[in-house]
Structure 1
Amino acid sequence: MKKFSFLFLLLLIFAGCGEDTKDQAVVKTKKSEPKPVVKEYGFVLDDFDVVVDTIERGDNFGYILDRHGVDRGKVFEISQTVKDTFNPARITAGKKYVILKAKDSAHTPLHFIYQNNKIDYTVVNMGDSISAFTAKKPVSIKRREVSGVVTSSLSEAMQAQGLSNLLVYQLSDIYQWSIDFFKLQKGDQFKMIYNEKYIDDTIFAGVESVDAAVFKHSGRPFYAFSYETDSLTGQASFYDEDAKALQSFFLKAPLNYSRISSRYQKRRFHPVQKRWKAHLGTDYAAPTGTPITTTADGTVIASSYTSGNGNYVKVRHNKKYTTQYLHMSKRNVRNGQAVKQGDVIGFVGSTGLATGPHVCYRFWVNGKQVDPYRQNLPTAKKIEGAKKDDYFAFIAPLKEELDNISYKKI
């Protein structure tokens, strides 16, 4: 019996030795990769319990903190301590906020972060030491080139390129003195070199600046180059390829992007009075509330209301030129106030004798009402002297880069 047991044991040993060892996998413990550190607003978020929310209509600072366990006495102390940096009474519905809480049993709120806008934020420290400071998210600038063609409108041309509507306003601002955007033609083309802002290198935060552009309107190229002539203010203006400033004495129109519903004409059938009479102004149809800007520097000589004009503003620019803006929903300036070109003086409405929201723009030369589109208005200034050579040297590589961008075709 012992002999049989010994033989059986040997068989088991040899059977084990004969197994295919290739199928026997060696199990190794895989090292887990370190978790990436998420840092925002200057804090390592993994160190806290994070609450992200949006301020609702009717919310206030005290109500928000009360929901998260901060008593009224502490809220008052915080408000009084940080009021010079952060005014709790001015938080706005729709703004994002973040509360960072301690990872303790009480989940004690330690920091309140208010997102002022996409870039700027305010941190309120609510722990043992109460304080507040403002800061900015990291912003990077990315240079872009774009080419487009107008098929029906500039907005649609931008949308077709997947571009921000902010570029529409940039172009209209640059060329508002030289191109009549109410007369764009199918096939007009544009090219731009510009800079975009990105938060954390990924989130689009708007257009930072335009370096150069060319807009081909009716077959003629209009160049624009951003150039700093005032080193004290650091403010740049746009000039063309001949060093002539694009900014002129008068804007082409008193508002951005609408349509001309009625032009200056000596005989027109009045839609309200139902009779033929002269229309000594240019009507720009636009939604109620659209800002109306003064087309040149001057002084407000009337800000009033009449049954015909509705709410209106009249601006004297110098001894020769005066402009008037009618049918406003609301006036934004007072009589005697000095205004600068582009200042908002009121908002589009339909007060007075008007059938729909628009602004009637009237223009006087030496006391006589005229059609502004038929006037030889003051021209822009040029860069002169030695500064002109500096300007040409500055724009040479920009112009070459612009010219190397292919025009987009229909």
Structure 2
Amino acid sequence: MKKIWIGIAALVITIGAASSLQFFDLPFQTEKEPEIVEPPLLDSLANQVFLYGINVTGLNIVEGTVSKNQTLGSILAPFNVPYQIIDQIAKKSKEIFDVRGIAANKKFTVVTPADSSQAAYFIYEPNPAEYVVFNLDSIDIYKAEKPAEFRTKEAGGIINSNLSADMTGRGVTYDIIDQFADLYGWSIDFGALQKGDKYKVTYQEKVIDGVVVGVSDIQTAYFEHKGEPFYAIPFEQNGEVTFFDQNGDSFKKAFLRDPLKYSRISSRYSLKRFHPVQKRYKAHLGTDYAAPTGTEIRSVGEGTVTDARYTSANGNYVKIKHNGTYTTQYLHMSKIAKGI
């Protein structure tokens, strides 16, 4: 008993010198694993800042707009990026985004560490929907899309002047107007629209940062011409959407009625028209469309280009063979597109 008491006393004296444990607790305590307490995160996820998918918490951000004749080198020079790095970036980025395409009035962002004057990232926005990230440290380049919101848009109204003016007045884009024209181009003569005709169309808008950057194809459409309704009902098969009317007939016909976006018809097809230059009556075997210079001209149907050149009688013209029966010609154009 004496030896045991001495041993315990020695243990108490030793521990007592280094801690405040009570003497009577010692014989009954078991050794515990040390408790690991995680230190608080310096920056919780709620406090972190992300820009273009990059964690920019605590970094310096400079946003700007490209000036006229400004290049990648002149943009990055004030941010102490060595010429060698700019050269490497320019060479490596050609397949993803050629930096020679940097244009005036486009937005860019430069990210610089708080403890350095040399930029770490350069981000360029070629359009409202995309951005290109240049990692100036790893010489890595990639392109990405901004997060987008898709919302259904519905527009309709009564024609007071013409379809194009009334639709644009209600915020409908030219892409949708063009699709609407193609959809109804065979069923309705847009040159003979009447005041009071009605239309309705639904589609989706692609919105980024509160700005509409694109539209989907038409989802549903309706047109009432001279009191007669024309419903466009979509049906999807094998990934392709085809529109049918209320009688189950397909809207897709052999030819479009008009090869242009909406324009004034200056002279119609006639077997006896008074020629404005020759001052005599003669056949006018075509339809003349008045449109601004540069207006896109579309073939009224699929076919093969058999001639595309200039002649004194036709001006710039293109001739298209559609099948064994039909051939169409497009005359007096301001120019012929490349590759035809």
Above 0.5 in TM-score? yes
* Equivalent residue number for residue 116 of structure 1: 126
* Equivalent residue number for residue 311 of structure 1: 316
* Equivalent residue number for residue 74 of structure 2: 63
CA contact (8 A) 1:300 1:333 kept: no
Deviation of 1:40 (Å): 3.2
* Equivalent residue number for residue 374 of structure 1: none
Amino acid at match of 2:130: D
**Does the C-alpha gap of structure 1 residues 162 and 290 become closer, same or farther in structure 2, counting only changes over 3 Å?**
closer
Q: Secondary structure at the match of 1:331?
A: coil
**Does the C-alpha gap of structure 1 residues 97 and 221 become closer, same or farther in structure 2, counting only changes over 3 Å?**
same
**Does the C-alpha gap of structure 1 residues 103 and 309 become closer, same or farther in structure 2, counting only changes over 3 Å?**
same
Q: 2:109 aligned to 98, 105, 127, which one?
A: 98
**Does the C-alpha gap of structure 1 residues 45 and 179 become closer, same or farther in structure 2, counting only changes over 3 Å?**
farther
**Structural mapping, 1:69-88, within 5 Å:** 69-88=80-99
Q: 1:221 aligned to 222, 225, 229, which one?
A: 229
CA contact (8 A) 1:309 1:326 kept: yes
**Does the C-alpha gap of structure 1 residues 196 and 124 become closer, same or farther in structure 2, counting only changes over 3 Å?**
same
> Mean alpha-carbon deviation: is it higher for 303-312 or for 155-164?
155-164
1:279 aligns with 2:284: yes
Q: What is the distance in 2 between the residues matched to 1:60 and 1:148?
A: 47
CA contact (8 A) 1:141 1:208 kept: no
What are the Cα deviations for residues 228-248 of structure 1, in whole angstroms up to 9, with x where unaligned?
22x2xx232322233322121
* Equivalent residue number for residue 179 of structure 1: 188
* Equivalent residue number for residue 16 of structure 1: none
* Equivalent residue number for residue 24 of structure 2: none
**Structural mapping, 1:28-67, within 5 Å:** 39-44=50-55, 47-67=58-78
* Structural RMSD (CA): 2.5
Amino acid at match of 1:135: A
Q: What is the distance in 2 between the residues matched to 1:262 and 1:176?
A: 19
1:203 aligns with 2:211: yes
* Equivalent residue number for residue 89 of structure 1: 100
Structure 1: gaps of 5 or more residues: 1-34, 338-410
* Equivalent residue number for residue 323 of structure 1: 328
**Does the C-alpha gap of structure 1 residues 179 and 67 become closer, same or farther in structure 2, counting only changes over 3 Å?**
farther
Q: Secondary structure at the match of 1:63?
A: helix
**Does the C-alpha gap of structure 1 residues 188 and 93 become closer, same or farther in structure 2, counting only changes over 3 Å?**
same
Amino acid at match of 1:295: V
Deviation of 1:328 (Å): 1.2
CA contact (8 A) 1:189 1:215 kept: yes
Q: Secondary structure at the match of 2:282?
A: strand
**Does the C-alpha gap of structure 1 residues 148 and 303 become closer, same or farther in structure 2, counting only changes over 3 Å?**
same
* Equivalent residue number for residue 125 of structure 1: 135
1:290 aligns with 2:295: yes
Deviation of 1:195 (Å): 1.6
Q: What is the distance in 2 between the residues matched to 1:160 and 1:86?
A: 37
* Equivalent residue number for residue 40 of structure 2: none
Q: What is the distance in 2 between the residues matched to 1:237 and 1:93?
A: 41
Deviation of 1:312 (Å): 0.6
The number of residue pairs the alignment matches comes to 296
**Does the C-alpha gap of structure 1 residues 280 and 118 become closer, same or farther in structure 2, counting only changes over 3 Å?**
same
Runs (4 or more) in structure 1 with deviation over 6 Å come to: none
**Does the C-alpha gap of structure 1 residues 273 and 40 become closer, same or farther in structure 2, counting only changes over 3 Å?**
farther
Q: What is the distance in 2 between the residues matched to 1:245 and 1:55?
A: 49
* Equivalent residue number for residue 340 of structure 1: none
Q: What is the distance in 2 between the residues matched to 1:47 and 1:216?
A: 60
Structure 2: gaps of 5 or more residues: 1-45
Provide TM-score, normalisation by structure 2.
0.79
Amino acid at match of 1:318: N
Amino acid at match of 1:218: K
